[in-house]
Chain A
Amino acid sequence: MSTLHTLSINPSSLHSIQSFIDIMGETDELLLLANGVYGALVDAKINIPLEQLRDSGKLYALKDDLLARGIPASAPKRATLISYEGFVDLVVKHQNTYNWV
């Protein structure tokens, strides 16, 4: 059983991004959407713990939501950019989805 976690607030406003990552199961993945996509920007140093997820290929961000915030697709990211269709595929891949607002 694996879970797709979705985060739609800027991760830098979380109390601790590390404790968030720590509760994720070994096969879980994280998708950043809406304001969550700011966590994908490498210049946001506060979100460096997210690189643990990137290194194991478990961090995704919605491309449309990045573009909607004026962030070019070419900006350096620490997440794999996906479409809403890719979002659907992730939901299919995991048995559960949990929305962290």
Chain B
Amino acid sequence: MGLFLFITQVMIFSVSILSAPYTDQAAFSAYKFVEAALSKKHEVRRIFFYGEGVLNANHLNTPPQDEINLYEAWKELASSHQVELIVCIASALRRGVLDEDEAKRYEKDGHSMQAPFILSGLGQLMDAAIESDRLITFGS
């Protein structure tokens, strides 16, 4: 009985992703985890992309059409489940992941990131840890 109650309890999750989409399976595992959590009626508040993980947010990623498009999959989570997609700005700028404002600031020809992904700082990861019942890390 106790265990049953435990498992049906609704929780707030946040996820941090430290791996690029094609380096290993971590980003895809994270996506499958989030999908499963949502299917079990949990809330997924925030996904924090950090280190190489920021490469998930590059809107120029163009995988072959017969493969899963992880970028589109993240976007879909934001629009259908209000999941916040936060990208570490210090990691992102180093890797050429810039939204329009940053591209202008650094006088670049184009930008590689846009809404619903949001550039922000590590404080948002700390905040996710405080506000969520569980914070799970994928990748290294």
Contact = CB atoms under 8 A, between A and B. Distances in A.
Interface of A: 8, 33-35, 64-65, 83-85, 87-89, 91-93, 97, 99, 101
Given A8-B29, A34-B25, 18 more contacts: A35-B25, A84-B32, A84-B33, A84-B35, A87-B36, A88-B37, A88-B40, A88-B42, A91-B13, A91-B134, A92-B9, A92-B11, A92-B42, A97-B136, A99-B136, A99-B137, A99-B138, A99-B139
Interface residues of B, number: 25
A85 B36 CA distance: 5
Given A88-B33, A93-B6, A93-B7, A34 B42 contact: no
A34 B24 contact: yes
Contacts of A8: 24-26, 29
- Lowest 9 CB-CB distances: which A-B pairs, in order? A84-B36, A101-B140, A34-B25, A99-B137, A85-B36, A84-B32, A88-B37, A88-B36, A89-B7
A93 B6 CA distance: 7
- Grouping DSSP codes into helix (H, G, I), strand (E, B) and loop, the B interface class, with mixed when no group exceeds half, is mixed
A92 B140 contact: no
26 contacts: A8-B24, A8-B26, A33-B29, A34-B24, A64-B32, A65-B25, A65-B29, A83-B36, A84-B36, A85-B36, A87-B33, A88-B37, A88-B40, A88-B42, A89-B40, A91-B13, A91-B136, A92-B6, A92-B42, A93-B3, A93-B7, A97-B134, A97-B137, A99-B138, A99-B140, A101-B140
